[in-house]
Each structure stands twice: as C-alpha cells, then as structure tokens.
Structure 1
Amino acid sequence: MQAIRVDSQGGTSASLELVELPVPTLTEPFDILTRVPGKIVGWDASGVVEAAGPRALFKPGDFVYYCGEYDRPGCNSQLQLVDSRIVGRKPAKLSWEDAAAVPVIGITSWEMFVEKFRWAPHGDNGADTTLLIVNAAGGVGTMALLLASKVFSIKRIIATASRPETIDWVKKFGATDVLNHREPLGPQLEALQLNPSHALLCHDDTNYIAQLATHMRPAGHIGSIVNADSIPFGGSAMFRALTFSWGLTFSKSMFKYDLESQHRILNELADLVDDGTIPSMVTVRKEFGLQALREGHDLQESGRVYGKIAFTVLERWS
C-alpha cells in the first residue's frame, strides 16, 4: 500500500516522503483495518472497514470515523489499523473528508466539557456560566463554540480572534463577545465587566493563564489542550480557588483506559451532525498526495488557518 511518512531527518514538511509499505495485519481482538478515503493533517480519518478482529465493534463494510492512536501509525496511508473501541459510525450527512475533520476536535471539546467541567449535554449548566475560549477560530475552538452554545446551552461565550475573517467565523459558530488575543485580555474583560467561570485554552497557555488567574471568577475552572512544562499560576489562582485541567484526546488510547467512551462520544457527535446541529468546519480542501500534504502542514504551521484542512483520497497518490 502507499503511505506518506516522515523521513529520518524529520521536522519540516519537506521531510515527508511517499513510500510503499506492506498491508497491516490485524494484531489485537478489538482492531479493525480501514481503507481511508478521507483524512486531515494529523490523525483523523474516515473510511470503510476492510477486516475486523474477533471482538471488534464493527464489521467489514461499515462506514466509520476516528482520530487514531498516538502510538500507532497514523492515517497517511491507504489502509490503517485502529482499535474499534475509539471508532464511531461515520455521520451519514458528511462526505468522507468532512467526516474526517470531526473526531479530534469533537472528542477534545466533549471530554473537556463533560469529564472536566462536568457539564451535562442538553442539561442545566448554570444560567450565569460564562465560557472564554482562547484561539476560538481554530479547529478545537470552533467545535467548542458550537457545542457550548448548541448542546450545553451556555449563554455567554467569549471568543478570542484577531482578524476580520476569524472574528466573523467565531460569531458564526456561537460567540457572544470577541476579544483580541494579540492584546492583554484583562482590560478587555474589565471593559465588558466579565469574569469567566470557565476557560478553554487552545493556544499558548503559559501566556494566558497568568492573565486569567486575576480575572477568572472565584472557584472557576481553566482547561488547556496546549503542552507546557510549567504553569505560571501564582498566588491569584490559589486565592480564587481555581481548578486547572489538561485535555488530551490520545490519553485514553495511550494508557488503555475508558476507551469505549470515545466510541460513544463519536456516535453522539454523528447524531448531532445528522440532525443538523454540527455543520462542516472544513475551510481548506485538497486532493491527497505528497505535495498537498506538505502544503497542508505548512498552512497548519503558519497560524493563519481557521476551521479545518481536509483531504479527499484517490486510489493512487502522487
């Protein structure tokens, strides 16, 4: 089968190379082997089950989507092995590439809201709950905006964005207020007389945590999906009794805990797509191949992309 991998040098889009690899074989009882006609830059994919292990949750011919596993080969290949317990049924209303854009951003947002913030979907999550999302025009930020407004019924959602097109984008997906993340957040929150009860950081948490520690509501909750070696809370966070939580979609598959929760989340998200709650968030579409993937990586690293980049996969690549 064809695959695109990072060569031994690594580090840049130029290090990607097109290779021929053996077709993977099923190794674990829950595994499925999928043919991948839709994918994004990274791990997400949608595809058709070609083979299934004896305990797999899907059978050959099923249409599925998933975010893959951090410690197994990703989706930049024609066929991919994945544990079926972190796989969901593909939304019927989305194309292959649009479906592939959902899993990571959907699971990341859902797990933060339900498992960390303890919000209930379609429930009462507090009339005065106020959510701040930093970098709200990115993939996770966009999905978080939509879910917070449409599924978790949060009435006040503050988004950060800095360009006219991204400001319009976050308003489209549910932001009630917009701050410029290129300027200090504190004075902007003070001007709106807002103290968020919850915050989701999708970019540069070491910069924004220090700012939010003095402007969050007492007993507030900050969630971050950004890796950092240290968290600069300081005394203000302690005095306000703030809670901090990490979010990482791949944690469950890496450490083999609560795997089927992601199967359930993906099926819930598929229902929300098919009932019209979640639209496509793809803003850049490409035909999959070595040069297209390089361009996709460069776009992702530029910091100028909002929404998602998705690829349509043909039988042979170039």
Structure 2
Amino acid sequence: MQAIIQPNAASDALTLTTLPLPVIDPSLGEHLIRVKACAPCAGELLWPKNFPPPNPRELVPCPDVAGVVVSGPEDSPFQPGDEVYARTNYVRPGNAREFSVGVTDELAHKPKGLSWVAAAAIPVSAETAWQILFIHAGIAVDAETDFAAAQTAWNGKRVLVTASSGGVGMWVVQLATLLGAEVIGTCGTANIPLVQSLGAKEVLDYRHTNLREWAEQPGKKVDVVIDCIGRQSLEDAWWTVRNGGVVLSIFQPPKQVCPTDYKGTGVKDVFFVMEPVRRHLEEITKLVELGKCHGMVDSVWPLDQYREAFKRLDSGHARGKIVFDLSLNH
C-alpha cells in the first residue's frame, strides 16, 4: 500500500513510500480499515521528538480517518463494510496510508450523508471540544455524554474562545452555543463573519482588541476561557476571567503564561490532551446528522501532494481542516 512516512523523529521531512498492509489482532479490538480520507494535525511532525510513542513504530502522520471496515473482531459493533471515522490512538501509526487500524473504543459510525472528506475533518477537533465542555472545564460535572445535564450547567455562562475560527475553536463555539453559553470568540478580521455564523455573540479581532482593556468594561468578564492557541493569546486572555472562573488551554499549562501582575483569585487553570473516545464521537455523529453542527474543510489533496498540503497546514492560515482524499490517487 501507499503511505506517507516521517523517516525519523528528528526530521520534519516526509516521503511517499510503499509499506506492507498492517496486520490486526482482533483480540485487542483491532479493525483493518480501508482509508477513504484522512487529516493531519498542526504541529504533529514535532510529536515524535517531543512525545515519543511508547513503543517504536512507523511514523505515519494524520490521526483523523474516515473509511470502511475490512475486518475485525467477530463481536464488534463495526462489521465489514461499515462506514466509520475516528481519531486513532497515537500508540499506532497514523492514517496517511491506504489501509489503517482502528480499535473498537475509538471508532464511531460515520455520519450518514456526509462525504468521506467531510467526515475526516471532524474527529480530533470535535472530540477535543466535547472533552473541554463536558469534562475538563469542570462546569458540566458528571455530564460526559448527557447533553441535557450539560445544557443546564452551561446555560448563561460567558465563555471566551481564542482562535475561534481554528479547527478546535470552531467546534467549541458551536457546541458551547448549543449548550446555551454566551460565546465570545477571538480571530482575525477575515474570519469574523464565520465565527458569528457559528453562534458567537461577540467576536473580537485579535489584531485590534486589547483584551485587558476590553475586560475592564462593565459586564465583560467571562466565566471560562477556552484557549486553543497558547502563548501571547493565552497570556492576554487571563485578564478576561472573573474571580473563581476557569482558564483552560489545549496548547500549554495556563500558569506558564499567567501575567506577573495578575491579581485575580480562585481561578482554576486546566491543561489536558484529548483522548479518542468512541462514546463521545458517537454523540457528535448524532448532532452532525441532526444538522446541529458541522466541520469545515480548508482544502483537499491527493496523498502524492503531501508536501504542498503540509505547507498549507504549517502556514497557520488554513480555514478548517486539510484533508487527503485517497480516491484522488487512483
């Protein structure tokens, strides 16, 4: 099979090569998946160096996948021919290859009526947003997959989302709005209409808004900061949270960039790394099928244009997900 591979952890160069098909172990819940589309994550070529896989493995990129089950455990809810999607676990090679492996606890049924490309754009971003809002922000306690309970908890909360037009940010805006939160998003000028269309009540142009000054206006403080970009953006966002609120980042521990003259009290800071969880993605499938939320595709590429695709990804200007469509290779 064809596959994109990173030759070693120290290299950010990629190559298109030929590899043998993976061999699955059904006793471990493994399924062989014929890959129809896959999507990379920003910065993932640095992961092997910064977060070495627990066991040595081929460094195939793209954690998001959509495809068809070829084989798997006899008692699996996913049988041969089933259409599935997932953010697969980092312990195994990624999905920029014609056949890949997914385990029962990370796979979900692909939303009906969605293209392969549209499905591959969803898992990591949507599951991260789900885990932020239903678990790690600590607002919807014990509501991991209970939408009604989470709505009760989030209703009326003010939430600031940085990089709100990015892959994870746009999902946080959509889901938080569905849960009844009042969402304020930050993004660049060109993306303000997009973030408004996703449900944000107020959208701040990060190039022209001083968050500290903005937060000093009456009624502007937020209950929760959800940071998707880190560094200066996260440092500035500290000024917006009320005493007793929450600052959560998926980029870095928020305390690392807390302003030295910040005087807020009782603020909880949270950093976490998402984990692929089947039951979360199945809930997202339901919402997508109901038309309540959607992913966004920036651009679509065949595998053999991997250099151009990753260049687009690294530019930081992608609006939605970069997706490889493997049907373009034949």
Q: Same fold (TM over 0.5)?
A: yes
- The corresponding residue for 1:272 is 287
- Return the alpha-carbon distance in structure 2 between the equivalents of residues 180 and 22 of structure 1: 48
CA spacing shift, 1:18–1:210, aligned 2, 3 Å: closer
SS in 2 for 1:213: helix
CA–CA separation in structure 2 for the residues paired with 1:66 and 1:141? 19
- Contact between 2:238 and 2:247, CA under 8 Å: does it hold in 1? no
Mapping of 1:18-97 within 5 angstroms? 18-27=16-25, 28-41=27-40, 42-54=62-74, 56-97=76-117
Residue 282 of structure 1 pairs with residue 300 of structure 2: no
Counterpart Cα distance in 2 of 1:45 and 1:248: 19
Give the Cα separation in 1 of the matches to 2:254 and 2:156.
33
Find the counterpart in structure 2 of residue 179 from structure 1: 204
* Selected match of 2:245 from 198, 217, 220: 220
Structure 1's 84 and 228: CA in aligned 2 closer, same or farther, altered over 3 A?
Answer: same
Distance 1:171 1:315, change over 3 A: closer
State whether structure 2 residue 133 is matched by structure 1 residue 134. Answer: no
Equivalents in 1 of 2:253, 2:270: separation in Å?
Answer: 12
Counterpart code for 1:131: V
Asked if the contact 2:253–2:270 (Cα under 8 Å) also holds between the matched residues in 1, the reply is no
- The worse-fitting range, judged by mean Cα deviation, of 275-284 and 70-79 is 275-284
* Paired residue total: 299
Residue 241 of structure 2 aligns to a residue whose secondary structure is coil
CA distance in 1, matches of 2:177, 2:68: 32
Distance between the aligned counterparts of 2:197 and 2:308, measured in 1? 27
Q: Which runs of 4+ in 1 moved over 4 A?
A: 234-239
**Which letter maps to 1:212?**
A
Superposition CA RMSD, Å: 2.3
Match of 1:211 in 2: 236
Match of 1:188 among 198, 214, 218: 214
Cα gap change, 1:193 to 1:6, in 2 (>3 Å): same
Aligned equivalents of 1:214, 1:178: Cα separation in 2? 17
| Residue in structure 2 matching 1:17, options 4, 15, 20 | 15
Equivalent position to 1:108, from 120, 128, 137 = 128
Question: Match of 2:266?
Answer: 241
Which of 249, 252, 256 is matched with 1:231 structurally?
A: 256
Higher mean C-alpha deviation, range 94-103 or range 24-33: 24-33
Residue segments in structure 1 that go unaligned for 5+ positions in a row? 254-261
1:29–1:55 contact (8 Å) kept in structure 2: no
User: What is residue 259 of structure 1 aligned with on the other side?
Assistant: none
**Structure 1 residues 315 and 20, CA gap change in structure 2 (3 angstroms):** farther
Moved more, 70-79 or 34-43: 34-43
CA 1:316–1:296: 2 relative to 1, 3 Å: closer
Measured after TM superposition, the shift of residue 97 of structure 1 is: 0.7
CA contact (8 A) 1:159 1:175 kept: yes
Cα distance, 1:200 vs structure 2: 0.8
Distance in 2 separating the partners of 1:172 and 1:307: 14
SS in structure 1 opposite 2:169?
Answer: helix
8 Å contact 2:71–2:80 — kept in the other structure? Answer: yes
Q: Percent identity?
A: 26
Partner of 1:147: 175
Distance 2:261 2:223 in 1: 15
CA contact (8 A) 1:34 1:81 kept: yes
1:53 is aligned with what amino acid?
Answer: P
TM-score (norm: length of structure 1): 0.86
Following TM superposition, by how much is the alpha carbon of 1:214 offset from its aligned partner in structure 2, in angstroms? Answer: 3.4
Check whether the contact 1:93–1:273 (CA below 8 A) recurs between aligned residues: no
Map 1:295-306 to 2 at 5 A: 295-306=308-319
SS in 2 for 1:146: helix
Unaligned runs of 5+ in 2: 41-61
Contact 2:85 2:108 in 1 (8 A): yes
> Which residue in the other structure is 2:324 paired with?
311
Bigger Cα displacement from structure 2, 100-109 vs 46-55: 46-55
Deviates more, 1:47-56 or 1:104-113: 47-56
Cα-to-partner distance string for 1:178-225 (whole Å, 9 max, x where unaligned)? 112234311123347400101111102x32443333331111111111
Whole-Å separation in 2 of the counterparts to 1:316 and 1:307? 22
Q: SS at the partner of 1:37?
A: strand
Q: TM-score, normalised by structure 2?
A: 0.83
Change (3 A) 1:218 1:271: same
1:138 and 1:220 map into 2 onto residues whose CA distance is 24
